[in-house]
Every structure is written in C-alpha cells, then in structure tokens.
Structure 1
C-alpha cells in the first residue's frame, strides 16, 4: 500500500466513531497547535528582549 493512501475499510471504520470523539481529536490538535505557537512566540520574545530589543 502506498503511504498516505487509506483503504475503504479504514475510512468506514473512522466514520463509525462517535462525533464527539472526532470533534475531540480536532479540538485537541487545535489546542496543541495554538499552545505550540504560544511557546515559540514567547521564546522569540524572550530572546529579543535579551538582545536588547523591546516592544515599546
């Protein structure tokens, strides 16, 4: 099987999962990505402040 291709059985099995479970994964991935973005932005701001750059 080629990478990235899913069989019809796998797709049908995923569609049988409850809606709350699928939305839960979506929310979890969203929260994780927003959290990672916050961490990266905070680190960048910290390094910029340490280098003598400021936002005001």
Structure 2
C-alpha cells in the first residue's frame, strides 16, 4: 500500500459517487483537467447504469 494507491482509490471512489471532474481536480490539485480525466474517469457498466438511472430520476 502506497500513498499513490490511496490517492487513486480516493479519487476513483469520489468519481463513482458523482463528484464532478472539476471539483475532483480542485481537491487533488491537478493543474490540468486532462490529467484528472485520464487518470480517474473510469467508465464501467455499473457506473453507466447508475448515471442513467440518476438522469432518468431527475427528468
């Protein structure tokens, strides 16, 4: 277990819970949004399904 692994896990969990990329960028102090998106925006079937359900519920 390294600090980098903990940071990556935290960011992945926050993304999966709906934190916006801009807010995540601020929290982890990335200067470039592309860095944040390329490392922590991991799509999956479950995350896509959750997002679709959230969008449907708000319309």
Quick check: which has more Rg, 1 or 2? 1
Range into which the TM-score falls when normalised by the shorter chain = 0.3 to 0.5
Give the number of the structure with larger relative contact order, counting CA–CA contacts within 8 Å between residues 6 or more apart. 2
Task: Give the alignment's TM-score, normalised by structure 1.
Answer: 0.36
Task: Give the alignment's TM-score, normalised by structure 2.
Answer: 0.34
